[in-house]
Structure 1
Amino acid sequence: MAEVSTVAPTASPKQVSAVADFVSGNFGGMANVLVGQPLDTIKVRLQLDHGRFKGAWDCGVQTVKNEGFLALYKGMAAPLVGIGAVNALLFAANSQFRKLLQDHPGQVLSIGQIGLAGAGAGIVNSVLASPVELLKIKMQAQFGKPAGQERYFSGPVDCAKYLIQRDGFANGLGRGMVATILREIPAYFGFYSGFEIVKRHLTKDQEQDASVTQLMVAGAAGGIGYWIFSYPFDVVKSVVQNQTENPKGFYVGRVMKQIYARDGINGLFRGMAPTILRSIPAAGATFTAYELSMRMFDRL
C-alpha cells in the first residue's frame, strides 16, 4: 500500500476537528510504517531485482545476513516523518470529494461513490506521496555496504539534497509523479470501497461504531484491495524512481513493455506476495491506531 499510509475515517456522521484527524492520522500512519516496513523493503528490492534473489524469503535472508536485521527498516525515516503531511492531505481531499458527491449533509454514499472519492483523493495525495516514496525507495535499494557503490546515501536528507542539486526539484524529487498518480487512482478506489464493503457487512449497516476487531478486518480487506487494483503501476514507479536518468515523455507504457519483454507478466507482479502479506497487519494496525486515537479525542 503505499504506499505510505492507508487510513480512512469511519462513517460516523459526527464532525471531527482537523487537529484530531491530523494527530490520529499520524498515529495510524506511523503504525503502518512500523509494522509494514520490513516486508515493504523486501517488496521494493524484488521489484528492482535482476537475478540476485530467488524470491521473497531469499531476499529477506540475504538482507539480514549481509546488512543486519535493521536493514529491513531502510528508508523508514522518510515515510515516518512525512506521514503526517501525507495523511492530512489525503483526509482533507477525501472529505472534500465525499462532500461534493453528497446531495445533502450526512448522506450515506454508495460504494461506487466512496471509491470515486477515494480515487480523487489519491490524485491529490500523489503530490506528497511521490517524493516521500522516492526517498524511501532510494534508501531501500542500497544493498550491502557503502564500499564500492557509486553514491551511497547516509539518509533521506542526504539523498534529497543530492537529487535536487543534480536534477532540480521537479526531475529530482518529482520523478515518478505520473506513475504515482496512475497507481493512486485505482489503488484508493479499491482501498476505500473494499474497506467500506467489509465494514458495512460486519456492522450490518448499523450506525454504531465498528469494533477494533471489525476495523482491523475491514482495514486488511481495504489494504488488499489497494494492491490488487494497482500493483503493476507500483512496479513501474519503483523502477523509474530508482533510475539514474530521468524518464522521458509518457514513460509508463514504455517501462511496462520493457519489464514485460525482459521478465514476462511475472515481472509486473514481482514482490506482490509479500506486499499482500504486509497489507494485512499493516492496515489492521493503521486502523486500530487511528480509531483509538479518534475515540480518545471524542472523550476529551
Structure 2
Amino acid sequence: MSTHRLQTVNELIAGSFGGAAQVIVGQPLDTIKTRTQTAPRGMFKGPMDVLLQTLRKEGFFALYKGMASPLAGIAGVNSLLFASYGVAKRVISPFPNKSLQEIASAGALAGAANAILASPVEMFKVRMQGQYGAITDKKLRVVVSEMWSQWGFRKGIMRGYWVTVAREIPAYAGFYTAYEFSKRKFATKYGENVPAWALLASGSTGGLAYWLSSYPLDVVKSRIQLANEPPRGTPIQYIIRDMKNIVVSEGIPGLFRGLTPSLIRSIPAAGSTFLAYEISREYLREFTGA
C-alpha cells in the first residue's frame, strides 16, 4: 500500500476515535441546543429551562436522545472528515508546512465532503431530540422507516443536505484554522511534543470557531430537518426564505437560538475530538510508519 493511501486509512481510523469521543462528551449539550433551536416559541424560557424541564419530565438519559444515530454515524462522519482533510492538504500543497490560508481551504473542502454523511446522521438526531417525552415518541427505527417510506432518499433521508453543505464549508474552514493557529502557538513554547492539555485547548478553540463561523445556517438546518414536509424551491431559495421567516417572527436573535449551549458544548467536545484523534493518529503513525 502506498504511503498516501496508508495515511488516509490511518486518518479514517483515528477520525472514528475522535468522533466517538465527541458524541459521548457533547451529546447532552447538543440536545439542549437542538431543543432551544426547534421547540415551539414559549415552550422554554432558554437553554437552562430546557435542561431543567428535560431532567424533570424525562429524566437524565433524555439528554442522550438521538445518540444512537450520531454514535453510529459520527465515527463514520469524522473518519470521512479527517481523511478528507488529510487528502485535501496533500492536494493543495505537497509541503508539510501549510499556511493558514491553505489550512482553511483544506478545511472547507473537507467540510463539503463531510456533509455527505453528516446530513442524514444529523437529520435523524434532530428528529429524535425534537420529541419531548410524550407517549407517542418514536424509536429511531420508526423514524428512519417513516422518513424513507413517506419521502424517500432525497427528501427524507438526505433532507437538509444542501444547507448542511452550506454550513460545513465555513464551519470547518474556521474549525481547522483556529485549531492549527492555536496548536502552532503552543508548539513555539513546547516544540513538537505539545502537551495533552494544549491539544484540548486548541481543539476547543477550533470548536468555538466552528459555531461562530456558521451558526445561523445550523438553526435553519435543524428546522428544515424537523419540519413535517421537505422544503420547496432551490436550496438558495429555501435557505434565504427560512432565514427571512425566522427574522420576521423572532428578530435577528432567532438566528442564534441555542448558541450558548453550542459554544459551551464545543469546549469539551471539540477538545476531546482532537485529543482522541491526535493520540490515535500518533499511535498509528508509529505502528505503520505513515
TM superposition score normalised by structure 1 = 0.89
CA separation in 2, counterparts of 1:38 and 1:80? 13
Note the alpha carbon deviations across 1:203-227, whole angstroms, 9 max, x for none.
1188614221111111000000000
Note the alpha carbon deviations across 1:264-289, whole angstroms, 9 max, x for none.
01100011001000000111111222
CA separation in 2, counterparts of 1:139 and 1:124? 25
CA separation in 1, counterparts of 2:249 and 2:23? 32
Note the alpha carbon deviations across 1:26-51, whole angstroms, 9 max, x for none.
22111110110000000000001211
More helix by share: 2
Q: Which residue of 2 aligns with 1:118?
A: 107
Q: Which residue of 1 aligns with 2:49?
A: 58
> Relative to structure 2, which stretch is displaced further, 286-295 or 59-68?
286-295
> Relative to structure 2, which stretch is displaced further, 27-36 or 219-228?
27-36
Q: Which residue of 2 aligns with 1:178?
A: 162
CA separation in 2, counterparts of 1:15 and 1:214? 29
Q: Which residue of 2 aligns with 1:281?
A: 268
Q: How does 1:143-222 map to 2 (within 5 A)?
A: 143-147=132-136, 152-155=137-140, 157-204=141-188, 208-222=192-206
Task: Answer yes or no: is the 8 Å Cα contact 2:164–2:221 preserved in 1.
Answer: yes
Question: How many residues are treated as equivalent by the alignment?
Answer: 281
Task: Answer yes or no: is the 8 Å Cα contact 2:33–2:259 preserved in 1.
Answer: yes
Tell me which amino acid in the other structure corresponds to 2:54: T
CA separation in 1, counterparts of 2:278 and 2:111? 21
CA separation in 2, counterparts of 1:167 and 1:256? 24
Runs of 4+ in structure 1 deviating by more than 4 angstroms, as ranges, are 13-16
Give yes or no for the alignment of 1:84 onto 2:75: yes
Gaps of 5+ in 1: 1-12
Task: Answer yes or no: is the 8 Å Cα contact 1:67–1:145 preserved in 2.
Answer: no
CA separation in 1, counterparts of 2:53 and 2:205? 30
Tell me which amino acid in the other structure corresponds to 1:61: L
**What is the CA distance between 1:116 and its match in structure 2?**
1.1
CA separation in 1, counterparts of 2:68 and 2:281? 25
Task: Answer yes or no: is the 8 Å Cα contact 2:207–2:270 preserved in 1.
Answer: yes
**What is the CA distance between 1:118 and its match in structure 2?**
0.4
CA separation in 2, counterparts of 1:285 and 1:96? 23
Distance 1:95 1:170, change over 3 A: same
Tell me which amino acid in the other structure corresponds to 2:244: K
Tell me which amino acid in the other structure corresponds to 1:172: G
Tell me which amino acid in the other structure corresponds to 2:217: F
Q: How does 1:248-267 map to 2 (within 5 A)?
A: 248-249=232-233, 250-267=237-254
Task: Answer yes or no: is the 8 Å Cα contact 2:14–2:79 preserved in 1.
Answer: no
Tell me which amino acid in the other structure corresponds to 1:134: M
Note the alpha carbon deviations across 1:3-23, whole angstroms, 9 max, x for none.
xxxxxxxxxx99964443223
TM superposition score normalised by structure 2 = 0.92
Q: How does 1:127-142 map to 2 (within 5 A)?
A: 127-142=116-131
Pairwise CA RMSD: 1.9
Q: Which residue of 1 aligns with 2:61?
A: 70
CA separation in 2, counterparts of 1:295 and 1:98? 18
Task: Answer yes or no: is the 8 Å Cα contact 2:224–2:231 preserved in 1.
Answer: yes
Note the alpha carbon deviations across 1:150-196, whole angstroms, 9 max, x for none.
xx3212x3211110100011100111111101100110011010101
Distance 1:38 1:134, change over 3 A: same
CA separation in 2, counterparts of 1:121 and 1:255? 26
Alignment counterpart, residue 223 of structure 2, candidates 239, 249, 253: 239
Q: Percent identity?
A: 45
CA separation in 2, counterparts of 1:259 and 1:32? 29
**What is the CA distance between 1:292 and its match in structure 2?**
2.1
**What is the CA distance between 1:127 and its match in structure 2?**
0.8
CA separation in 2, counterparts of 1:67 and 1:153? 14
Tell me which amino acid in the other structure corresponds to 1:141: G
Q: Which residue of 1 aligns with 2:280?
A: 293
